[in-house]
Amino acid sequence: MAAAAATVPRATVHPLEGADHGFAVLKSSGRTKEDVWSEATAFLLSWLETEVLDSGGAAHLR
């Protein structure tokens, strides 16, 4: 996936360790569903702030 993202300008990949493509968590990972969703949400909010708000792309949303 990282190789494909590298071909797209400003694409970002953030692997969620211990989770599959549907955010389901493997029991052997030691993580909970809440851990994975919390990480995904925190990354998304950070990405939105950096890539959208800070770039002026959504200045009207502030």
Q: What pTM did the predictor assign?
A: 0.72
Q: Give the distance from CA 53 to its chain's centroid.
A: 16
Count CB-CB contacts under 10 A for residue 25: 19
- Residue 53 confidence (pLDDT): 82
The whole domain housing 39 covers 2-61
Count CB-CB contacts under 10 A for residue 29: 13
3 state DSSP class of 25:
strand
Q: How far apart are CA 24 and CA 56, in angstroms?
A: 34
| Tens-digit pLDDT profile for residues 5-62 | 889 988 888 999 999 988 899 999 999 999 999 999 999 999 999 888 877 665 555 5
Number of domains in the chain: 1
- Residue 45 confidence (pLDDT): 95
